[in-house]
Chain A
Amino acid sequence: MHALKEIGKYTTLLYQALRSSTEFSTYRKNLFHELVKVGYDSVPIIILVGIFTGSVMTLQSAYQLEFAFIPLSTIGAIVSESILIELAAVISGLVLAGKVGARVATELGTMRVSEQIDALESMGFNSVSFLVVPRVLAGILMFPVLYIVASIFGIGGGLAAGYFSGTVPPADFLKGARMFFYPWNVVFGFLKSFVFGFIITSVACYKGYYAKGGAEGVGRATTEATVMGCILILLADFILAALLL
């Protein structure tokens, strides 16, 4: 019963956000601000995640295939395809559920418990349009961009790790990556990051917007937003894979 109520409230908030997305003048300024916060500010962590994911994948693949009589280019194919189809989107999503989701839930939660959202409404603002729409839009628009960054640095990291460890020469790595490259995999990863961006920001907005109970309530909202975001990312990943692959 409680879960149904939560889903109902979440859906209502999304409906309100969709309806007020036409009020561009209300959230224009906030949208640019959020694009920077969600996108630009997340680039360093995404680069770091990308490089390490690609590096570790290369080293582990090389280790596992050490005694198998298969060409070294296979490692390049495994690493690049895994990154494009799964890891760049999912690992970035999980990291951003913590970084972006927690920030959004904390910001809105603090605004709720300190009556700042009431103040906005009392002035005649549409608080959903002002606060929720730009954050969700920023998630939808910037997560695919971050997916591209994660993919480039993931494959680059894998290539560098193969070269510096002496396990896979760059030429073999790139040969494998090119040989098994399917554009659909990029489209699929792109689509996933789009969905993850929506999930993380909308759940965080929902948890923050309806936070109650002072500092403890904000803490609870932040934790729930992060945990729910991670769970829903994994669930959405499965559903998309089942439907589209």
Chain B
Amino acid sequence: MIEIRNLTKSFGNLLVWEDVTFNIEDGDTIAVIGRSGCGKSVLLKHINALLYPDNGEILIDGENIHELDYVSQRRLRQKFGILFQGSALFDSINTYENVAFPLRYFTDLNEEQIREKVMLSLQYVNLEDSAEKETSELSGGMRKRVGLARAIILEPKYIMYDEPTSGLDPKTAEEINELIIAMAERLNVTSIVITHDMHSVLQVADKVAFLDQQKLSWFGTLEEMKSSNQPDLIDFITASEYQIKSKQYT
């Protein structure tokens, strides 16, 4: 379980958000939504201690990740798999090696066992035929899927997705959404999806956290969101629905 308590963050004089508090229960898929620049990705980087808050704390299974020493922090980080916005694949090595990378450093598996796990992971994301491709040969959607295969290779407890469908065509975005659902079901992981794509939210999320005006503006289940009458949230959803409809006609 991830507990986010009274989190506040500023960059210089720019307040990102303050007093953000909510919990992410084990097994849930939670979508963190909000306008571009509202600090969604900043929140993700706080959960993994890539950034530190000005105030507040984040407990990962009861441990405050920002107060741990570096070695304990690294141990805790291995509970996470992250799919970065730009996939963050290592461009000096090919697809297979990207996925195998964490196994080579954090396990004692032999080459045959590594191959088995890598191919299984690539099979989960339907890319077993692209193992030997260079990362430069991959399309945007394929890069995301390789990023996901790498994120799940150490069997994490939590998977965080940073804008998983951004920059993708609707069909590929749909495939990524299906993968998010499949990962949650198949690997029994807790998923945190950072997005402004409401279509994706409606497809994958159990719960929704809405960041707006430098605070957690709304938090609840997907069903509660659909019947919410909070003006800011309705505005955001309405704008997104208009965008979804526009996309359908173009």
Partner of A123, one of B78, B85, B91: B78
**A22 within 8 Å of B (CB atoms):** no
Count residues of A near B (Cβ-Cβ below 8 Å): 14
Contact B86 A115 (CB under 8 A): yes
Contact A124 B78 (CB under 8 A): yes
Contact B88 A119 (CB under 8 A): yes
Partner of A122, one of B75, B82, B90, B105: B82
Contact A118 B45 (CB under 8 A): yes
Interface positions of A from 176 to 191, Cβ below 8 Å from B: none
Interface positions of B from 17 to 51, Cβ below 8 Å from A: 45, 48, 50
Which chain B residues lie closer than 8 Å to A6 at the CB level?
A: none
- Quote the shortest CB–CB distance from A18 to chain B (angstroms): 14
Give the docked Cα–Cα distance between A129 and B80 (Å): 21
Which chain B residues lie closer than 8 Å to A126 at the CB level?
A: 70, 74
Main secondary structure of the interface of A (DSSP, over half): helix
Give the docked Cα–Cα distance between A115 and B82 (Å): 11
Partner of B88, one of A26, A118, A124, A125: A118
| Interface mask (B106-147 → A, CB under 8 Å = 1, otherwise 0) | 100000000000000000000000000000000000000000
Contact B86 A123 (CB under 8 A): no
Give the docked Cα–Cα distance between A121 and B77 (Å): 8
Contact A122 B50 (CB under 8 A): yes
- Quote the shortest CB–CB distance from A28 to chain B (angstroms): 11
Contact A125 B105 (CB under 8 A): yes
**A114 within 8 Å of B (CB atoms):** yes
Which chain B residues lie closer than 8 Å to A114 at the CB level?
A: 86, 88, 91
For A130, the closest partner residue in chain B by CB is B105
Give the docked Cα–Cα distance between A224 and B85 (Å): 28
Give the docked Cα–Cα distance between A186 and B102 (Å): 45
Which chain A residues lie closer than 8 Å to B45 at the CB level?
A: 118
Which chain A residues lie closer than 8 Å to B75 at the CB level?
A: 124
For A110, the closest partner residue in chain B by CB is B91
**B219 within 8 Å of A (CB atoms):** no
| Interface mask (B202-238 → A, CB under 8 Å = 1, otherwise 0) | 0000000000000000000000000000000000000
- Quote the shortest CB–CB distance from A231 to chain B (angstroms): 29
- Interchain Cβ contacts under 8 Å between A and B, 19 examples: A115-B84, A115-B86, A115-B88, A116-B88, A118-B45, A118-B50, A118-B82, A118-B84, A119-B84, A119-B88, A119-B90, A121-B48, A122-B48, A123-B78, A123-B154, A124-B74, A124-B106, A125-B74, A125-B105
Seen from chain B, the residues whose Cβ lies within 8 Å of a Cβ on chain A are: 45, 48, 50, 70, 74-75, 77-78, 80, 82, 84-86, 88-91, 101-102, 105-106, 154
Complex A-B, nearest 7 residue pairs according to Cβ-Cβ distance, in ascending order? A119-B88, A115-B88, A124-B74, A124-B78, A124-B77, A115-B84, A122-B82
